[in-house]
């Protein structure tokens, strides 16, 4: 797949899961539950012990049914290790030109972390495939709407503090997707499946231009 195809696949559901745990076993179990619930985009944070091994295992198991990425990628060396482990996309909490260059060198999209319009423009100049608005807890859908008025070309992905309740507000404000962590995976498989199905429906309804979506400025 080309970079643009991978990017489109990761963002297609308007949400991807962020898995950050304190063990490999928990990460694998959480990822398995979320993928079984129907999510098709998921990142394993490299703060998780043996995260690269989890990326390798999941990528092999899901094949083309989902897109597995690596998160908290801070430098070029780690980016290359993640790509070698099978990560299909890279996410970072910060903006580092070498992470973007390394991912692109091997055909892997990169979503760097940004917090200000200056960082957003710089990330676009560096060729970032989407922009992780981080932390979202320090932002708001209203501010995102204002940013989008000035930078409509910026594909923003709020992450870090996005809740199941306010995720549709971010999408309605112009976010292309949201990254959501542990709140997605609480409970048993049946509960997670219901939660994911409900969230996907609400995000689709909230998307500007979609039936039932908010098209106001």
Task: Let me know if 149 is exposed, middle or buried by CB neighbors in 10 A (0-12, 13-18, 19+).
Answer: exposed
Residue 129 carries which DSSP code? S
Cβ within 8 Å of residue 99, ≥6 positions away: 73, 74, 75, 76, 78, 79, 90, 92, 110, 112
CB 123 within 8 A of CB 114: yes
Going edge to edge, which strands form the sheet with 156-158?
113-114, 131-133, 156-158
User: Could you identify the residue written with the tokens 């898995």?
Assistant: 19
In this prediction, residue 210 carries a pLDDT of: 64
pLDDT value, residue 217:
38
Digits of tens for pLDDT over the chain (217 positions)? 899 999 999 999 999 999 999 999 999 999 999 999 999 999 999 999 999 999 999 999 999 999 999 999 999 999 999 999 999 999 999 999 999 999 999 999 999 999 999 999 999 999 999 999 999 998 999 999 999 999 999 999 999 999 999 999 999 999 999 999 999 999 999 999 999 999 999 999 999 886 545 434 3
Q: Which two three-digit tokens encode residue 13?
A: 């559901």
pTM score over 0.85: yes
Active site residues: 43, 132
φ, ψ at 16 (rounded to 5°): -135, 155
DSSP state of 97: H
């Amino acid at each position: 797949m080309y970079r643009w195809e991978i990017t489109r696949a990761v963002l297609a559901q308007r949400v991807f899961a962020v898995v950050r745990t304190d063990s490999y076993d928990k990460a694998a179990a959480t990822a398995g539950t979320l993928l079984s619930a129907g999510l098709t985009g998921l990142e394993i944070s490299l703060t998780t012990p043996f995260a690269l091994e989890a990326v390798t295992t999941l990528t092999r198991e899901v094949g083309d049914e989902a897109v597995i990425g690596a998160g908290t990628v801070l430098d070029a060396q780690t980016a290359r290790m993640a790509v070698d482990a099978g990560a299909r996309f890279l996410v970072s909490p910060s903006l580092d030109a070498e992470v973007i260059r390394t991912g692109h060198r091997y055909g892997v999209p990169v979503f760097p972390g940004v917090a200000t319009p200056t960082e957003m423009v710089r990330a676009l100049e560096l060729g970032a495939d989407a922009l992780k608005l981080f932390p979202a807890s320090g932002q708001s859908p209203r501010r995102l709407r204002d940013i989008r008025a000035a930078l409509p070309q910026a594909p923003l992905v709020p992450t870090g503090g996005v809740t199941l309740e306010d995720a549709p507000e971010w999408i309605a404000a112009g976010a292309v997707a949201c990254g959501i962590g542990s709140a997605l995976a609480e409970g048993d498989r049946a509960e997670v499946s219901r939660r994911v199905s409900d969230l996907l429906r609400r995000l689709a309804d909230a998307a500007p231009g979609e039936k039932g979506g908010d098209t106001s400025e």
